[in-house]
Amino acid sequence: MKKSLFTILIFIFGLNPVYTQEYRHLKQVEERMIDFRNSYPNIKDMNITSLGKSTGGRNIPLITIGKDDPLTPGILLVAGIDGAHPAGSNILLNVIATILSKNPEWLSSHVLYILPVLNPDAYQHYFNDEIKYERYGNDRKIDADRDGLFNEDPFDDLDGDGLITTVRIKDPGGNMTVHDTYTNVLVPVKSRDSAEVFYRVIAEGIDNDKDGHFNEDGTDGVHLNKNFSYKYPAFSNSAGEHAMSEVENLALADFLFDRYNIHTVLHFGLENNLSHPVSFDVSKIKDRVITGPYEKDAKVNDFAAKLYQSSVDYKGAPKMPLKDGGFSSWAYFHYGRFSFVTPGWWAPIVDMPKDTTETEEAPKAKSGKKKGDTPYDIQYINWAEQNGIEDYFVEWTEIDHPDFPGLTTEVGGFKPFVRYNPPAGHLKEVIEKHYEFLNEYMLHMPKFEIQGINVEKIDKNTYRLRAQAVNTGNLPTHSEIGNKTQWVRKVRSQILLADDQSLLIGYPKDFHDAVQPGEAIDFNYLISGKGKVTLEVGSPMTGLFSIEVELK
């Protein structure tokens, strides 16, 4: 394979986390992964492979760092499920580069499974020269409105700028109005008495098939982050024919269910339970379908959130609830793992100069506004203006819309992708911060120490053996919801005897629900026979820990 200039530069100058001003397209993502392996030959357990092919026939890259072994504790790191979020893939790739360059000690005892782009069909659309719109779906052809036709009502570029933004229609029954200060920005109507003008808002386009719906049957395919089986939004547009209908989702599930050793899932996506952890609500675990975390699992979410917030400047992080049919919810409720998700980057809160004024071209902040009251769109505008980013908004332009004769109709709004995908150079700081979070989290992973060993001789050939296996990590061995599923292996404790020894009292092997930090498993045996015995404890998510004890 012909090496790219990027690859050549890597070999000349060495591999360090590279913060380019552009996002990497699919081929460059794969090249970057190969660079990892070529630049770190001392890390023997690094495998570059594929999860399979997408609906559109594109490769779904997978990198495994560490022993892909049933008893090596693992972490899954995934991005690119929402194709309109290339920043997540960029952050993940550079976090991995940082891990490899710093080679933390825990890397030798854990395995990382990394999927930087689960949805390559949608991801690649970001780099295409065709009309730009925020695409979330794969390449599946769907009949969203079930009229027997495919893709007959797509987006339409009404102002000819090559971008799909929004259309606002002046309508007394509309549910949107202009912001008090930022007159270009639309916000939900809170009181019809206080608003002067109302808008109905649709995506840029027309009703091509004249069924009363706009842009409902385009080329967007199935949204993978709506197609997982937990709270699957049946009959929802772009959710697929049935849960797990898509080859990408099914391949991921098959891969994960074969790996009992995965303890935690970290997803870089357009949801967030790290800056806004999910709290425990007893009413949500009493129904037939559990809709909230168990109490001990909610405490782990809170613990992880505190670690996250100590590394990442989380102020101004928008509330981005977990989605129905989304991967992160599925990873907890159906896969039974601790599951965390963050967009990785959002426009931080900035202080605008007090003397700035509002203009039509670039609406500015006015002093006296409480930060906590700032909608995210305004927060983004303030950040973009302070950082000299100008190409983020299409000014509202009046058009004649064939479906709204006689009504004032305008095209404009935020350009596709911009609000959660800054120029890649702005990700440098958050990449380092997310490495710090992951590194700190790994240091708290569960592990056992066998302590308090006591051997008591009862007679010349009989011994009582007592000990405790203590979880000295700061995380449970597995989730509380995992206690109730068939897909999470319990902790096993056992004693291994020599052929001439026998167990008089005690179970040779026992299984345990999740062991919390500081909790202990008791060993208590009566053994006939001298010599050495082995105490062993562990699970796929902790690894095995053992100690040899001599009876004499």
How large a percentage of the chain has pLDDT more than 70? 88
Radius of gyration for the chain, computed over Cα atoms and rounded to the nearest angstrom:
27
Task: CATH number of the domain at 498, please.
Answer: 2.60.40.10
Position 282 scores a pLDDT of 94
391 in any annotated domain:
yes
Angle between helical axes of 86-102 and 26-39 (0-180°, round to 10): 10
> Which two tokens mark 371?
């930060």
SS3 10: helix
Q: Is residue 46 part of a domain?
A: yes
In a domain, 368, yes or no: no
User: Per residue, what are the HEC states of 448-514?
Assistant: EEEEEEEEEEEECCEEEEEEEEEECCCCCCCCCHHHHCCCCCCEEEEEECCCCCEEEECCCEEEECC
What residue numbers bound the domain in which 320 lies? 5-127+223-345+423-443
231 with 337, same domain: the answer is: yes
What pLDDT, in 10s, does the model give residues 337-360? 999 999 999 999 987 665 444 444
Does any domain span residue 467?
Answer: yes
3-state secondary structure 341-358: EECCCCCCCCCCCCCCCC
pLDDT at res. 128: 82
Residue 191 lies in a domain: yes
Nearest to 485 by CA among 336, 356, 280, 351: 336
Q: Judge whether 55 lies within some domain.
A: yes
Residues 315 and 254 in one domain: yes
Give yes or no: residues 416 and 427 share one domain.
no
Per-residue pLDDT of 136-164, as tens digits, reads 999 998 866 565 666 655 778 889 999 98
**Is there a single domain that holds both residue 416 and residue 430?**
no
Residue 364 has a pLDDT of: 44
Please report the pLDDT score of residue 353 as a whole number: 61
Are 434 and 454 members of one domain? no
Cβ-based neighbour number of residue 416 at 10 Å: 19
Residue type, 142: I
Name, in order, each residue with C-beta under 8 angstroms of 16's C-beta and a sequence gap of 6 or more: 97, 101
What dihedral angle (degrees, nearest 10) is formed by the CA atoms of 189, 191, 194, 196? 40
* Residue 213 shares a structural domain with residue 242: no
Are residues 341 and 252 both part of a single domain? yes
Interatomic CA distance for residues 420 and 344, integer angstroms:
9
For 24-73, list the strands marked E by DSSP.
46-53, 59-65
Burial of 535 (0-12, 13-18, 19+ CB in 10 A): buried
The structural domain count of the chain equals: 3
Same domain, 436 and 491: no
Pairwise CA distance, residues 338 & 263, whole Å:
7
Which two three-digit tokens encode residue 260? Answer: 């009992």
Identify whether residues 341 and 429 lie together within a single domain.
yes
Q: Is 413 left (phi over 0), alpha (psi -120 to 50) or beta?
A: left
Residue 299 sits in the same domain as residue 392:
no
Same domain, 231 and 272: yes
Instruction: Answer yes or no: is 134 within a domain.
Output: no
Whether residue 150 lies inside any domain: the answer is no
Give me the pLDDT at residue 314, please: 86
Q: Helix or strand or coil: residue 72? A: coil
181 shares its domain with 269: no
Vertex 304 angle, CA 320 and 103, to 5°: 110
The residues of the chain scoring below 70 in pLDDT are 1-21, 129, 143-153, 209-212, 214-218, 352-373
CATH number of the domain enclosing 254: 3.40.630.10
Helix (H, G, I), strand (E, B) or coil at 266: strand
